[in-house]
Structure 1
Amino acid sequence: MSPIKAPRGTKDTFSPEINSWQLIERISSEVLELANYKEIRTPIFEHSELYTKSLGQVTDVVQKEMYSFQDRSERNLTLRPEGTAGVIRSFIEHKLYVNPLPYRVWYCGPMFRYERPQAGRQRQFHQLGLECIGILDPRIDAEIINLALNVLENLKIPNLSLEINSLGSSETRTYYKEALYNYFNNYISDLDTESQMRLQNNPLRLLDSKDTKIKALLEEAPSLLDFLDNDSQIHFNLVCQYLNSLSIRYTINPLLVRGLDYYNKTTFEIKSSSLGSQDTLCGGGRYDGLIQSLGGPELPAIGWAMGIERLLLSIPTNNQNIANLDCYIITLGEKAKILAFSILNQLRNSNLKVDISFYDSNIQKQIRRANQLNATTCIIIGDEEIQKEIVVLKWLKIQKQEEVSLNKLDNVAYKILSS
């Protein structure tokens, strides 16, 4: 009988890779909490209507990628494909808008989309994201972009670049979609079937097409920035000014629209050229109309999300913070096992990462095991050490050892933590 394997597009995560996950979670939590963003945890599945209303009926996510099902009560449910909609649903349901604004939250957890699995992209994937609700001020736009860069820079991810754009108001996009439709309709025979469908349903989706023919046509296509209303233009100019004040370099990319219908005004992506063609690490923007469309008050909002799997590919190997073992305890004889068990607990209470040998092999094999675990030191206890009321402390990297009295084990913890 063949062993059962994990479903295609899912992945087990364990040591040593889990150390990189923990590094991402720790650094992002520290950066975002310092900026007064509080963690939120929403359900992994929601009513399907939440996503069809918020993401847009003609988006690839809704049409092709959602994991939707009926439960035993015949309710239509969907495993969450992204984090924003659930946060907004929670904000509205619990009437959090009655509290002082802005409402600042961050989240980290699994999402689900039916896509072709590849490096950095799985069907169960994980996102780190934040949302800021209730403030229209362009300083918030610059703040969340800066926070995203802070997270990535603290992870020491190289070759970062920022692209920004403005999608303007809903009226802006209506006029621009019409102009874009008229332009591409002249080249309808050059478009493949999928691109023709996009042209009919939402011409903006052509802007991020990977098709080489469409990319060439876009060079002469109308620019979204030429259609911006006055308010959107002022807002975008101020965002750029605030980014300048933070010495953040950026490129204005008029083709940047993102893949979901709820975006308006500021939109942005942060990329790393070290990743190749799949180079986007973070994407986000404003979604000022989403809360009202889902039954809440008319409030502006902005956010971003990062794919954890993509971050894992970007973190330098020497920055993955592999967690070493501080001490490995080796015992020789039954009496030593009893004494070592109490020493193990004592050292762990002193904040040392300690493990103990459960094997009766000879001392050289046990020392070899300590080296395999990348331990800094090992403590050796045998009958002779018990009689002398000492332990042998061996420093594995420099191959030196010393005797330490049992009543001075606190010195062992201090020495190891200071090394």
Structure 2
Amino acid sequence: MFYKGWVPTVNGRLSFKIIGETRYPTEPEYVNSADGSHLYVAALQSRQLSDVLFEPVAGRLLGYSGRFEFILCARSRKVRSSPDSKLIGRIFLFHRSTFANSKAKGIFRSRVKSMRALDPGALNPGLKEEYLQLSQALRSRCDLYMDVVVNRDGIVTLSHLKWGDQRLERNTEQHAVAIGFDLEHGIADQMYFFVRDLTHQHQHHGNDADTIITTQRQEKPDDMSWCLEIMYSLYFHIITVKRKENPSEHVRALGILAYLQSYKNIIKRRKELIQSDLKLPEFDDASSKESIKATKDYIDFKLNEQKRNNDNQKAFLLWVVATAFTVVNFTVGFADKNLPANPTVLSVANFLKTNAYILPTLAIAALTYSVSNLIMKPRYDFKRDVVRLSIASRGVAITCALGVGAAMLAIGLYHARNLILG
């Protein structure tokens, strides 16, 4: 069984030399070097695959981990007469415990260090030997692996799933059957996401939201029906995003539309090459582009109008407050100094005078929160789990949130009253 995916490329051509220069979801360890005949790539990346809520905390408490180690070992032939040579190799998958117990981590780092030390310009055959020994060592230690072929046009082919442990294979397949999960397809998807993140920089969308394209089954080598599902997924996403009232989403849709132009050109070339009778559907991309731009311009206009109204309201409010303070300050000068002060006002004034540190503390807290949003990495996984928890148990979550909020408000009011009135 073959599985096909596509790495989005605007110019329709991947550069294998940039493989490994990524930061999502984690920074990989890699080597990307060449001798006189081949380019050799070896890249290790740790990826969290668990769907358990708050896995970093829950996993430690319950004694399990959903983190897996992915390793790509592949090479591409360097031939001037064939600039479109493919990157061919394997993807090895380790569970975190297997990776530690099999000593694969030390082997990988040692081989990568040796490959980096070799002079790529000296036509040194040692680079090939190091690569082959690394691939063989990983094959004998991994939980499973798949063959992979990455084409210059972005088409990725995954095939021939092999397991390193028969007991693991049997137990995993039995569990997959029990829950109705297509195990081989799921593994192919995760390996495709790994290759995509190594080779593709996310420009028109967030890194953590890129699940638009998944792998498609290819029944026969000359079957091209798989490419239609990818095309439909991209167009469906554009239609969905277009309906949102957010200009950034419309910019994203325009970027995906640019990807689509490149993708359709690639498919047309492949169709002509193998003389396939596949009929590609027609889409009016020019009208779609103009429609997205018009929607974006309209939303920008409404947002700017709303911003002007908010600014006017803020200016009016500041004018009212300033006028009120001026009137009060002017009137106080005519007040009778022998009149007793209002007890509540006097208590509030004494409280603020005694606890003057409270106001700057609140300002410092607000400033710290604003700065942290600018300099700290967003915790997407945590936010995603909070949303999933609220959706899965909406009634309970709403009730608990309201109860906690009411309790905190009551406690705050009680202590404020005691502090002010004694």
Q: TM-score, normalised by structure 1?
A: 0.20
Larger radius of gyration: 2
Hey, which of these two has a bigger chunk of helix by percent? 2
In terms of fraction of residues, the more strand-rich structure is 1
Normalising by structure 2, what TM-score? 0.20
